Amino acid sequence: MSHAIHASEPFTDLYHDGLRLLLYGGKGGVGKTTVAAAFALSLCERYPHKRFLVLSTDPAHSLSDSFAYPLGATPAPIYGRANLTGLEIDAAALFARFRAEHGRSLKQIVGGGV
């Protein structure tokens, strides 16, 4: 299901029942994290019966800064809101763990260094 967004629609109308994932992308310093945090707060207030997860893969962990709330690799409620959970993925640590667990098998399959 697609949903066309028009400039006249309020920002929170980006959400609709079929939406499962919304990604923010762009160059560094353009406000991706700030917009994601603000949108997440707006959604959880507007739709208290829905559950939302806001997550970041940014190594700077600026999502914690945006909420002034410590987030980590385990999903945690933000501001004690039952319908808003936050998570900061440590991509480097996940890759290191994946490599430690599967590196030998991958090396055998591709025949190169992993």
Residues labelled as active-site residues:
58
Q: Is 10 left (phi over 0), alpha (psi -120 to 50) or beta?
A: beta
Helix/strand/coil percent split, the chain, to 5 = 40, 10, 50
Q: Is the separation of the CB atoms in 53 and 87 below 8 Å?
A: yes
